[in-house]
Structure 1
Amino acid sequence: MKIRSSEITMSAVNRSQYPADGIPEIALVGRSNVGKSSTVNTLLNRRNFARTSQTPGKTRTINFYLINKEFFFVDLPGYGYAKIAKSEKDKWGVIMERYLQDRPELCAIFLLVDIRHEPTN
């Protein structure tokens, strides 16, 4: 597929902020710093489109990237290691769980795994 257009449409922390236009969504999930935002940049052949960092926990919202006005890539916060308060991590968990369970537009989930680390619960 040729990428003709890509834009970040919103960064959401609750359901009321999600896009309401019924466009299909593909979510990228995985541990903190596994490369979810970097994967968005690579797939779109754009540098620094999705913000990245060496520090785990940079993505703190659910970011919706509209591709070719046909579908969204959805970049979720990472789970696991991040230098933030446990209460903040718990909030992320609730946000992600609601999105993954209740979002009818969600049509695919890509789980990114870092081969250098053993899977955890």
Structure 2
Amino acid sequence: MDVHQAEFIKSAVKPKDYPDTALPEVAFVGRSNVGKSSLINVLVNRKSLVRTSSTPGRTQLINFFDVNGRLVLVDLPGYGYAKAPPELRKQWQPMIETYLAERENLRAVVLILDIRRTPTDGDLNMLRWLETYGIPPIIVVTKCDKLSKNEQARQAGLIATVIGRSREELVPFSALSKVGREGVWRAVSELAGLDDTTT
């Protein structure tokens, strides 16, 4: 998609606070510090639309972003950050699950995995949630610039095996080199029902 406008709409916790829009939504989710904010910023060609931080667990609300007035990207709280306060961690799961279960205009979820790490129980649970709700996943493996081509291939094979998917379903991505940006947009555009892809 040729992004000419991207702006923050609002943050929310409960369904009553979600934006009142019929635009298709694609949500982004992953383990804390997996590169979710950087991925969204690269997709929309903005350095700081979504705040990035070296401290995991900073995204504590559901954040909605309008792209071109045609699509809403949704930044969900990261999961699996053990140092977050217990009460906060208890809030994240129902917040995410309620959104996945109840948001009618949700078209797909970008599940972000670090190519250097073996998928966690949280990642596998998220995939099961998406299957339960019939939400198509777009599986993006980030931080590919950290590994050689051979290491990328080996890790992609391992990740695919652990999550029970084919390697072809994994979209390799690097926020540094922007490799994979077009592939992510292609998948997002198709599942969101948009009639164009990245130019």
Query: What band does the TM-score fall into relative to the shorter chain?
Result: over 0.9
2:39 aligns with 39
The superposition leaves residues 10-54 of structure 1 with CA deviations (integer Å, 9 ceiling, x where unpaired) of 011111110112111000111001111111100011101100100
In structure 2, the partner of 1:23 is 23
Structure-2 residue corresponding to 1:55: 55
Amino acid at match of 1:23: L
2:114 aligns to what SS in structure 1? Answer: coil
Letter in 2 for 1:6: A
TM-score by length of 1: 0.95
Q: Greater strand share, 1 or 2?
A: 1
The offset of 1:83, in angstroms, is 2.3
**Residue type at the aligned position of 1:32:** S
**Identity rate, percent:** 48
- Unaligned runs of at least 5 residues, structure 2: 122-199
User: Normalising to structure 2: TM-score of the pair?
Assistant: 0.59
Runs of 4+, deviation exceeding 6 Å: none
Q: Structure 1: where are the runs of 5+ without partners?
A: none
Higher helix share: 2
CA distance in 2, matches of 1:25, 1:33: 23
SS at match of 1:99: helix
Q: Aligned partners of 2:76, 2:14: CA distance in 1, in Å? A: 12
Q: In the aligned structure 1, how far is the partner of 2:7 from the partner of 2:48?
A: 12
Q: CA RMSD in A?
A: 1.0
**What is the CA distance between 1:82 and its match in structure 2?**
4.6
- The whole-number CA distance in structure 1 between the counterparts of 2:95 and 2:32 is 15
- Between the aligned partners of 1:99 and 1:78, the Cα distance in structure 2 is 14
Partner of 2:189: none
